[in-house]
Amino acid sequence: MSNNDDLLRAENINKSFGAVVAAKDINVGIKKGERVSLIGSNGAGKTTFMNMVTGYLKPDTGSIFLKNENITSLNPRVITQKGISRSFQIPQIFEPMSTWENLLVALGTSQKNHSYFKNARSKENADYIDEMLSRFSLNEFAHRQVSELPGGVRKLLDIAMALVRKPDILLLDEPTSGVGAEEKYPLMDTIAKALSAEDLTVIFVEHDMDIVQNYSERVIAFYQGEIIADDNCEKVLKDKNVQEYVTGKTQIKAK
Amino acid sequence: MSKLLNNIFFQSIFLMSLLLVVGIFIPNWLVFVITKAIAYGLVGLGIITLMRGGLVSFGQGFVFGIGGYTAGLLGTQAGLTDAILLLFISFLFTGLVGLIIAPLLARYRDIFFAMLSLAFSMVLYGILIKIDAIGGSDGFVLPESTYFGIKPSPEYADYILYVVSIIMTGFVSIAIKYYYDSTPGLIALAVRENELRVEYLGSSAFNVTVLNFTIAAGLGGMGGALNGIALGHIDPEFTYWTTSGEFVFISILAGYLSVPAVFLAALLLELVRSFSGRYFPDTWQLILGVFLILSIIFIPSGVGSFFKNFFDKLKNK
């Protein structure tokens, strides 16, 4: 449920695509510093929720508040400026550029009062980018064109770019999708370590229940556009509805 | 020393000085050809500014014509003949026109942007050929240019204009290069690759496009004014679609990686046009077409890629 202390609050959100209900009476509040995972089968409404929070989709009814400010009608750019950044299931990075240049663009977009005659590759910017590269263990890929990078590294870069702005809330859309099983934990460890330095609220969509259990404190389960469970990991993953409609009654083991 | 060699400002001043000296020794016809190439190169520079943001304008004849007519009308109607002032005013005025129409154009992408820009140029062409007061399809003659109140003797007029165009274009090019290397310039390159991501990083692709179009318009206007002053004549052909096509030719040949490459590409166009026009008067477009096909096949990133590689190597030394 939601209240005015929440950093992010969704109230009575409904969204349909024709006959398909993607969000039905969504009421949820997320507090500062929480690590929340959104789970649900494909088409359950997780990504629709994420897209509405980031302004890509507008709800048919209902409102979304960030720090008690109604952001429902704002576009993704303004919402990003207000403090919600996101990464993507398929990394949205600038292919012909290097890792370093991608981060430089991300840094540039986060800066106000740009000078049109000051070189973007200033020492100040370079130092910050080098720090980000270290935090995300990307140093060895710094000057490689991103189109040549492996999937996990592209994911890390995508997340690092979203983090450059120092948002209040970071949304991660399936951070481990498309990554080999043996790479998932190292990738999530790197992400968790990189994010630990920030006073950040993290919401991530994830299908891997081991990852969910090990990297989130709270789980929100979606089914056919509705929230069917919202509590700590243990309770949600033991919930009968969640086991029936989301996890398929699989036994979840801790790492 | 190597730091000085890598400095854009120093490189540009050196190149400008070299061209000014070379201008003394080359024949007058070549001085004229280079001046025209600079005029066309300025428009091309505007197009590559747009290309960096992922757009190509097929209608830069629009701003080229506005710049030319601005200089011409100020000369004939207001008695303003100072070439430096005319170039400067044309740059500002056309930039302002660009700023006014840019919000409309910036809503479109790809072929829609290209065709809408072409439509603007064709509308202007249609208007210009109908207005007899400014010469209709024949255009009109510009008064002879002065420089700080002095009218040069005819034998030096071409060289003086060459000097002015080299110096003004040189400083404009330095400013553009600084813009390309700045944070907004870098964001423009990102818009070219992934507009959605730029928005999700908190920047406006729309604003980038408006800015780039405004810059391109100003440069196009300055090029049009310089071309009008060099020819001593202005007519609606400045805005015709084939003229716009030549600017696209220059931009493709140059690529978007280097500023000086645009002027080299414009000079190549002018030389091919001059020699082909003289020796193959009926088939020069054929030669131009073959030239373009070969350049797209063999140097798809444009001659600018050679410049970039050269300067990258210089930096790494």
pLDDT in tens, B135-169: 888 999 999 999 998 988 888 899 999 999 999 99
Q: In the prediction, which pLDDT does B31 show?
A: 93
Q: In the prediction, which pLDDT does B33 show?
A: 92
Residue A250 has pLDDT above 70, yes or no: no
Check: CB of residue B158 under 8 Å from CB of residue B31.
yes
Residue B309 has pLDDT above 90, yes or no: no
Contact B201 A109 (CB under 8 A): yes
Residue B3 has pLDDT above 70, yes or no: no
Based on the structure, what is the number of domains in chain B? 1
| A 31-70 near B (Cβ less than 8 A) | 54
Q: In the prediction, which pLDDT does B283 show?
A: 77
Contact A94 B178 (CB under 8 A): no
Confidence bin at A245 (pLDDT 50/70/90): confident
Instruction: For chain B, report the end-to-end CA distance as a whole number of angstroms.
Output: 12
**Residues of chain A positioned with their CB less than 8 A from the CB of B197:** 92-94, 161
Between the CA of residue B233 and those of A51, B145, B283, what are the distances in Å? 57, 12, 25
Contact A77 B199 (CB under 8 A): yes
* pLDDT per residue as tens digits for the range A41-50: 888 889 999 9
What is the distance between the alpha carbons of residues A232 and A236, in angstroms, rounded to a whole number? 6
* pLDDT per residue as tens digits for the range B176-212: 999 999 988 999 999 999 999 999 999 999 999 999 9
The neighbouring-strand residues paired with A23 are A15
Domain range for B52: 2-241
Q: In the prediction, which pLDDT does B315 show?
A: 63
Residue B266, in any domain of the structure: no
Place of tokens 């959100």: A13
Domains and CATH numbers, chain A: 1-83+200-255 (3.40.50.300)
Confidence bin at A254 (pLDDT 50/70/90): very low
* pLDDT per residue as tens digits for the range B226-280: 999 999 999 999 999 989 998 998 998 888 888 888 999 899 888 888 887 777 7
String of b and e for A133-148 (b: at least 16 CB within 10 Å)? bebbbbeebeeeebee
Residue B149, in any domain of the structure: yes
Q: In a 10 Å sphere around its CB, with 0-12 CB exposed, 13-18 middle and 19+ buried, how is residue A189 labelled?
A: middle
H-helix or E-strand containing B116?
Answer: helix B110-128
Residue B85 has pLDDT above 70, yes or no: yes
Q: In the prediction, which pLDDT does A93 show?
A: 93
Q: In the prediction, which pLDDT does A237 show?
A: 85
Q: In the prediction, which pLDDT does B164 show?
A: 94
Residue A99 sits at the vertex; the CA angle it makes with A134 and A130, to the nearest 5 degrees, is 30
The whole-number average pLDDT for the span B32-52 is: 94
Place of tokens 């989709």: A57
Give the predicted TM-score (pTM) of the model: 0.87
pLDDT winner (highest mean) among B96-100, B274-278, B279-283: B96-100
Residue B10 has pLDDT above 90, yes or no: no
Helices B154-181 & B183-193 angle (0-180, nearest 10): 80
Contact B202 A165 (CB under 8 A): yes
Smallest CA–CA distance, residue A95 to chain B, in Å, is 7
Q: In the prediction, which pLDDT does B42 show?
A: 96
Smallest CA–CA distance, residue B195 to chain A, in Å, is 10
Residue B2 has pLDDT above 70, yes or no: no
Q: In the prediction, which pLDDT does B219 show?
A: 97
Residue B293 has pLDDT above 60, yes or no: yes
Residue A2 has pLDDT above 70, yes or no: no
Q: What is the ipTM of this complex?
A: 0.88
Q: How many pairs of residues across A and B have Cβ atoms under 8 Å apart?
A: 89
Contact A77 B186 (CB under 8 A): no
Residue of chain A with shortest Cα separation from B7: A119
Q: In the prediction, which pLDDT does B155 show?
A: 87
Residue B153, in any domain of the structure: yes
Residue B261, in any domain of the structure: no
Contact B187 A109 (CB under 8 A): yes
Which residues of chain B are at the A interface, by a Cβ-Cβ cutoff of 8 Å?
175, 178-179, 181-187, 189-190, 193-194, 196-204
Residue A229 has pLDDT above 70, yes or no: yes
Residue A255 has pLDDT above 50, yes or no: no
Q: What is the share, in percent, of chain B residues with pLDDT greater than 90? A: 63
* pLDDT per residue as tens digits for the range A52-88: 999 999 999 999 999 999 999 999 999 999 999 999 9
Residue of chain A with shortest Cα separation from B177: A117
Q: In the prediction, which pLDDT does A233 show?
A: 84
Residue B251, in any domain of the structure: no
Confidence bin at B314 (pLDDT 50/70/90): low
Q: In the prediction, which pLDDT does B208 show?
A: 92
Between the CA of residue A143 and those of A27, A87, A149, A157, what are the distances in Å? 44, 21, 11, 13
Mutation target among A105, A159, A166 for the B interface, most CBs of B within 10 A: A105
What is the distance between the alpha carbons of residues A116 and B205, in angstroms, rounded to a whole number? 16
The whole-number average pLDDT for the span A217-245 is: 87
